[in-house]
């Protein structure tokens, strides 16, 4: 008799022991430094990134946040922390706000990461992640090879993908802040999409999901003056979100854990589900 094979693993590839999966199952824990720059774009350009049934935010509908983050992350085993290549990564993402059934949410519309495990985690959560190269100035507490987290400290950050520079940012601290901005301060609202293997068929997976973290810890925040420049590339459309007015920049360290979200609407093949 042929033995029954049961492959294990949270995501692909599944294997006899499950260790080959690109990412272990949640909960996932994150600690990192975030540089957030908020600005106003043309509200019509933000609205075109909101598929039905999403609507623009009632107030400041053109507000955008571009966030550079330097993360260390792990699963509940914490074993990744002793193998840093499995725990450390950077990302750059663009967030807008939207409205769904009268409630306001934050929504990531573009995002790049520099590690495959972070890419896979994002696709599971509905983040539209792509691979890129993200660089950030690091604050220092000793020496002169970096800015201090104090007024006058100046930071730079860049995003490139496929050898094209897409984003360049600059931030100078002017003082402490009670918040780290408002655009990325709401529960996230994302789509999880998977096209059908059959040409011309409907998507195999369409889900509108929401999520937020828990066990959130934050450091004191800093605010200051900021500038950001966006460029296009053959496979990018960032210039459509070009700033028309700067709001402010922020620096804050964040710790958060994540262990799942909620399906608000879904379609698996031809079946539609409303929740």
Residue-level pLDDT at 267: 61
Q: Above 90 in pLDDT, residue 8?
A: yes
Output the pLDDT for position 218: 98
> What is the distance between the alpha carbons of residues 263 and 128, in angstroms, rounded to a whole number?
17
Q: Is the pLDDT of residue 155 over 50?
A: yes
Res. 92: pLDDT tops 50: yes
Of 230, 229, 231, 227, residue with least CA distance to 247: 227
Is the pLDDT score of 108 beyond 80?
A: yes
* Residue 58: partners with Cβ closer than 8 Å, 6 or more residues away: 99, 104
What's the pLDDT band for 1 if we cut at 50, 70, 90? low
Neighbouring residues of 63: CB distance < 8 A, sequence distance ≥ 6: 38, 39, 40, 41, 46, 57, 96, 97, 182, 183, 247
Q: How far apart are CA 112 and CA 93, in angstroms?
A: 6
Q: Which two tokens stand for residue 110?
A: 């573009």
Q: Given a cut of 60, is residue 274 above it in pLDDT?
A: no
262: pLDDT confidence band, cut at 50, 70 and 90? very high
Domain ranges of the chain: 28-189+220-253
Can you identify the CATH homologous superfamily of domain 28-189+220-253? Answer: Acetoacetate decarboxylase-like (2.40.400.10)
CA distance 175 to 41: 25
* SS3 state at 136: strand
Q: Taking residues 212-231, what's their average pLDDT?
A: 98
| Overall pTM > 0.75 | yes
Mean pLDDT of the chain, nearest integer: 95
Section 174-195 average pLDDT: 98
């Amino acid at each position: 008799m042929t033995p029954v094979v049961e492959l294990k693993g949270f995501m692909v590839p599944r294997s006899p022991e499950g260790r080959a999966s690109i990412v272990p199952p949640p909960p996932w824990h994150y600690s990192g430094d975030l540089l957030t720059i908020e600005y106003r774009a043309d509200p019509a350009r933000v609205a075109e990134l909101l598929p039905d049934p999403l609507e623009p935010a009632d107030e400041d509908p053109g507000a955008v946040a571009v966030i550079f983050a330097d993360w260390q992350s792990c699963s509940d085993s914490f074993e990744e922390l002793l193998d840093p290549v499995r725990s450390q990564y950077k990302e750059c993402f663009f967030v807008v706000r939207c409205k769904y059934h009268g409630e306001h949410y934050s929504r990531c519309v573009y995002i790049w990461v520099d590690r495959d495990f972070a890419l896979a985690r994002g696709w599971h959560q509905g983040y539209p992640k792509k691979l890129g190269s993200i660089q950030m100035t690091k604050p220092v507490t000793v020496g002169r090879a970096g800015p201090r987290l104090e007024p006058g400290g100046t930071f730079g950050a860049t995003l490139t993908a496929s050898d094209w520079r897409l984003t360049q940012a600059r931030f100078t601290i002017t003082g402490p802040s009670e918040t780290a901005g408002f655009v990325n301060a709401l529960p996230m609202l994302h789509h999880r999409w998977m096209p059908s293997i059959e040409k011309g068929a409907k998507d195999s997976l369409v889900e509108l999901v929401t999520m937020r973290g828990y066990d959130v810890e934050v450091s004191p925040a800093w605010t200051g003056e900021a500038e950001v420049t966006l460029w296009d590339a053959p496979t990018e459309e960032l210039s459509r979100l070009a700033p028309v007015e700067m709001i402010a920049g922020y620096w804050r360290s964040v710790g958060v854990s994540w262990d799942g979200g909620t399906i608000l609407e879904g379609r698996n093949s031809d079946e539609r589900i409303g929740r």
